[in-house]
Amino acid sequence: MAHWSRFEKELELETRRLISHYTSIQDEEDQNFQMALKFAWSNFKFHRFLDTNRHNVQRSINGIHEKLMVHSDLSKAESWLRLTGEFLSSPLPNTEETKTEVHYSVLALLLHLSDSPSNTNYCERPRLKEAEKEDEFDWAKYLMEGEDIDTGPFPDTPEWSEDESEEEDSQQPLSREDSGIQVDRTPQEDHEQNDKTVQVTWTCCFQDSYLHLHSNLYNVWDQHLYNTGPLYLPEEKSFVTETQVIRETLWLFSGVKKLFIFQHNDGKVTVRNDVVVTHLTNNCLHSVLEHIAAYGQAVTRLQKFIDEVTGHSAEPCPPGLNSSSSSSSKKSSDPPFRTYQAFVWALYKYFTSFKEELNTIEKDIIAKDETVTLSSVLERLSPHLAQITMLHRVFCTGVADVPPGTPNVLRASHLLNTLYKAIIEYDSVGEASEQSVALLFSLWVETVRPYLEIVDEWIVHGHLFDPAKEFIIQRNKDVPVNHRDFWYATYTLYSVSETVESEERLSDAASGSSGGEQASSSRQHTMVSFLKPVLKQIIMAGKSMQLLKNLDCKETEQPDDAERKSLYTLFLESVQTRLRHGEDSPTNTVTEQQATKKSLIKMQSIVARHLELDDIHDPLLAINFARLYLEQNDFHEKFSGSNVILDRSSESVTCQTFELTLRSCLYPHIERRYIECCGNLMRTLKKDYRLLGYLQAMRNYFLLEAGDTMYDFYTAIFDKVLEKESWQQLAFLNVQLQEAVGQRHPEDSSRLSIFLETIDPARKKQPVNNLDGLTLSYKVPWPVDIVISSECQKIYNQVFLLLLQIKWAKYSLDTLRFSDLTVAAKRQEGGQSEESTAKEPINQQIHRMFLLRVKLMHFVNSLHNYIMTRILHSTGLEFQHQVQEAKDLDQLIKIHYRYLSTIHDRCLLREKVSFVKEAIMKVLNLVLIFSDRWQAGFGAWKIESIDKMESDFKNCHMFLVTILNKAVCRGSFPHLESLALSLMAGFEQC
């Protein structure tokens, strides 16, 4: 090893240290150590690794720099490029050159060992260079060695006496630009001097009152402008202290209008231009004061609105149901409505707390326990000022920007929507706006109180109390409760379009009497956002309760208002219960931190189970609710009492899930009241007013479900027709109807009647149309006529007329006797002419008539069975089941109307399939003609008429089979499948 180089010796030493470190073998003579040493030396000397490619390393360096730039890690990118460049340009311990293979090898090793550079938090550590050692050699002593220096009689005396300096300075006049002390303005005649220096005699003792240069910054800056600006003209200034500025700032925020620094002009707050302080420049001071004036103007505008609504009263009262505050409102013909009063009450409570903070700051200034600066005051008030800016923005959007003359309903809806959208908007920011969201939530809770009180009064007592017409639903007093149109035309739903900002009125009749569901795709209407999910329930519960109040039933008994909690109180208590559900005080045996942790885990599990009841699986949300509960111990006090004072931080988590809070804390109370009111109404209508009985009566008489009763009625008419007697007499029809109904349903005989409407004679060209104009009427008492209206009876009559026509055709074919035709034929056999026998034998003609009768009977019976079984019976069973499941009257009305619409469509009475009905009517008309000629016998008609009847029936039959098969194949009319198959079977036998 004597011939080894220094590098090899160092490598040998480092190799042994490496093996000892990784194998933990300290004895170098050990066999295992020697084997490891040989293995390492073998790899070092005879390795198969390629040398480092400096181009690849440089590309990697550039690639990492580009990656960091793409990820916007500018500091990393700059440090990476600079440090790698410095490393390549610096020598190594054993290498004097730069950018050698060793440099690139080291960088390649670091690149292989490094992780993703964009996912690493890196902060460059400062590299301190060794400071150059100061030369401590005393050159003065060295150079002056050997020189004699006269130090005077008192060598210990300092060279410069401070007292003498002070005395000299006290006698020397100082210039204004050097003094930094406020002096009088220099006369303008001195402008012609080149140096523009004004000498002022000034005497001051530094020991007693030393003034820093910054305390006279304004004078220094003003002197600079005076010296450098040839056209600079001095102006008279009003010097104030910073304490005075702070005091006027606090007064401005308190609502004081008569101030010195801040002035009110036409609702705007301006700043005097001649106000200065000694330690700030004019521009700096005015920049701060203008900023303060902007906040002051917002405060003034909000305070003015509060005064206008409260009528300049000293202490406004919270709005209530009796609207007593309207008596003390401002002297005008149109007092503020309750939603504005509630909003003002919320603003008033906020400004009360804000003014308490201002009073605290003013007391701190008076106490002089610590230095109070304008900057510290603004920093202390910065959260309040941010909230005032937000409140002013909400006020401008929700109140001030509303055009004059806008109805109260639109004003109230717009204000509540503005608060609602502001909560959602600020909540999307996250924790940065937690205080703002909390304040907005407290404002919303107060402002929504009148709306919830109106809803509560309506759904509990059936009385829509809204004297100012601010609620989105308004009562139409022209329609009494006991009117048949009460359910459709009593209430008007107001909605406003955001794009047009115009008033729209949607009546309940147009919206299916439920309101809010029929939103056009081309024109989106918005109303009070928080009521949208339960608007239908509110309308149904309110109308049901008002209807119940006018019915003689025991279901309307309600508890006394003194014992009952209002909807608003229930809402606040639900929020409180949601946040404090499952509270348990920690034991004293554990520490406070452990108790908090255990309570948090327990609350999280409880809230998670509570949320799962609403099909909400969100563990993070459960943790947020639990943490809020643990942090806010005064939530119950804040929400209890008539005058609710919401803490700014107590409802922050409710705002993070604002819509979830409404779904769990407000909507269930409305839903519960809706189910109770509508359930009572449905039970009353079914039990006391025989609603189901009247629906059954309509099916019995109009849809002929009472077959035996209606058979006696319509067969009397058909017999008159067969006997060629007049049946279109109102007295005859009513007598037959009363006799038929009175035998089996005497309770309906007084309610049921029949009428003959005047029909255009042109429509009665065909025999089947002779029944047109026959109208059945059933007197339905109130309130059942809300469900069975006159419009519904019109649809019933259309189906009734179709059934009569089918029954007539079936009755005409059923009453035909073969003997009638054969007897008439035998009479004509002896007297028939040669001409008639040459055409076709009589027996052949009779046989054709028999076959045609069978075909017509198959068609009519197929149609009759389809209508009576597949349509009326099966649809009626489904309808009865839906009626039993109906939760409210509106749903029952829709079910009944849907039932009528279904049977109207399936009976082919819709205009869209009128061509199918025309073909059926042709066959029915053909049946009546055929029956008439059968009864007339031979001689009354010619043999050619049989050919025409067979041809017409075949054409109509083929047309119907083709049309119905195509409709069934397309799947558009699945209910026609049975009729199509039946007619197809008859068609194949033709």
List phi, psi (to 5°) of 265: -135, 110
| pLDDT confidence tier of residue 602, bands split at 50, 70 and 90 | low
- Alpha-carbon distance of 658 to 849, in angstroms, equals 80
| pLDDT confidence tier of residue 653, bands split at 50, 70 and 90 | very low
Mean pLDDT for the stretch of residues 200-217: 43
Looking at residue 1, its pLDDT comes to: 55
For 257-319, list the strands marked E by DSSP: 262-265, 268-271, 275-276
pLDDT digits (tens, 9 = 90+) for 266-277: 878 888 887 888
Instruction: Give SS3 for 692.
Output: helix
| pLDDT confidence tier of residue 116, bands split at 50, 70 and 90 | low
Task: Please report, as a single letter, which amino acid is at residue 740.
Answer: A
- Alpha-carbon distance of 57 to 570, in angstroms, equals 71
Mean pLDDT for the stretch of residues 85-102: 83
Looking at residue 829, its pLDDT comes to: 58
Sketch out the chain's domains with CATH numbers.
6-46 (no CATH), 689-986 (1.20.120.1900)
Q: What angle do CA 698, 677, 892 make, to 5 degrees?
A: 25
Percent of the chain with pLDDT over 70: 69
Element (DSSP H or E) covering residue 283 = helix 282-310
Instruction: Assess whether pLDDT exceeds 90 at residue 230.
Output: no
Instruction: Assess whether pLDDT exceeds 70 at residue 939.
Output: no
Task: Please report, as a single letter, which amino acid is at residue 407.
Answer: P
pTM value?
0.60
Instruction: Assess whether pLDDT exceeds 80 at residue 258.
Output: yes
Lowest average pLDDT, out of 219-223, 319-323, 358-362, 902-906, goes to: 319-323
| pLDDT confidence tier of residue 453, bands split at 50, 70 and 90 | very high
Residue 276 near residue 218, CB atoms below 8 Å: yes
Looking at residue 642, its pLDDT comes to: 41
Instruction: Assess whether pLDDT exceeds 70 at residue 656.
Output: no
C-beta neighbour count of 583 within 10 angstroms: 14
Looking at residue 205, its pLDDT comes to: 35
Lowest average pLDDT, out of 124-133, 491-500, 505-514, 813-822, goes to: 505-514
Instruction: Assess whether pLDDT exceeds 50 at residue 515.
Output: no
Instruction: Assess whether pLDDT exceeds 70 at residue 189.
Output: no
Alpha-carbon distances of 753 from 718, 731, 749, 788, rounded to whole Å? 19, 11, 8, 16
pLDDT digits (tens, 9 = 90+) for 879-901: 999 999 888 888 899 999 999 99
pLDDT digits (tens, 9 = 90+) for 717-746: 888 888 888 888 888 999 999 999 988 888
Query: How many residues appear in the chain?
Result: 990
Looking at residue 347, its pLDDT comes to: 92
pLDDT digits (tens, 9 = 90+) for 573-600: 887 776 565 343 333 434 444 555 555 5
Instruction: Assess whether pLDDT exceeds 80 at residue 122.
Output: no
pLDDT digits (tens, 9 = 90+) for 745-792: 888 888 999 988 877 776 667 788 888 888 999 999 888 888 998 899
Looking at residue 867, its pLDDT comes to: 86
Instruction: Assess whether pLDDT exceeds 70 at residue 337.
Output: yes
pLDDT digits (tens, 9 = 90+) for 29-57: 888 888 988 888 888 777 777 778 888 88
Lowest average pLDDT, out of 115-129, 676-690, 691-705, goes to: 115-129
Instruction: Assess whether pLDDT exceeds 70 at residue 214.
Output: no
Mean pLDDT for the stretch of residues 375-399: 91
pLDDT digits (tens, 9 = 90+) for 519-561: 333 333 446 788 888 888 888 888 888 888 888 655 555 555 6
Looking at residue 394, its pLDDT comes to: 92
Where b means 16+ CB within 10 Å and e means fewer, 256-266 reads eeebebbebee
Element (DSSP H or E) covering residue 631 = helix 619-631
Q: What angle do CA 566, 570, 573 make, to 5 degrees?
A: 140
CA 42, 43, 47, 51 torsion-angle sign: negative
Of 811, 776, 792, 788, which is closest to residue 704 (Cα–Cα)?
776
DSSP secondary structure letter of residue 95? B
Mean pLDDT for the stretch of residues 811-824: 75
What does the mean pLDDT of the chain come to?
A: 75
Looking at residue 396, its pLDDT comes to: 92
Instruction: Give SS3 for 493.
Output: strand
Mean pLDDT for the stretch of residues 626-631: 44
C-beta neighbour count of 397 within 10 angstroms: 17
Looking at residue 201, its pLDDT comes to: 33
- Alpha-carbon distance of 65 to 68, in angstroms, equals 5
How many Å from the N-terminal Cα to the C-terminal Cα in the chain? Answer: 123
DSSP 322-376: T-GGGGGS-SSSSPPPHHHHHHHHHHHHHHHHHHHHHHHHHHHHHHTSS---HHH
C-beta neighbour count of 844 within 10 angstroms: 11
Residue 846 near residue 821, CB atoms below 8 Å: yes
- Alpha-carbon distance of 753 to 667, in angstroms, equals 47
Instruction: Give SS3 for 657.
Output: coil
List phi, psi (to 5°) of 138: -85, 90
Instruction: Give SS3 for 497.
Output: strand
Residue 227 near residue 177, CB atoms below 8 Å: yes
Reduced to 3 DSSP states, what percent helix, strand and coil does the chain have, rounded to the nearest 5? 60, 5, 35
Lowest average pLDDT, out of 201-215, 278-292, 305-319, 939-953, goes to: 201-215
Residue 488 near residue 507, CB atoms below 8 Å: yes
pLDDT digits (tens, 9 = 90+) for 124-160: 676 665 555 666 777 777 787 766 655 544 445 444 4
DSSP 122-170: --PPP-PPPPPPP----HHHHHTTT------S-TTS-SS-HHHHHHHHH
Lowest average pLDDT, out of 140-154, 225-239, 319-333, 669-683, goes to: 319-333
Element (DSSP H or E) covering residue 220 = helix 217-228
| pLDDT confidence tier of residue 988, bands split at 50, 70 and 90 | low
| pLDDT confidence tier of residue 192, bands split at 50, 70 and 90 | very low
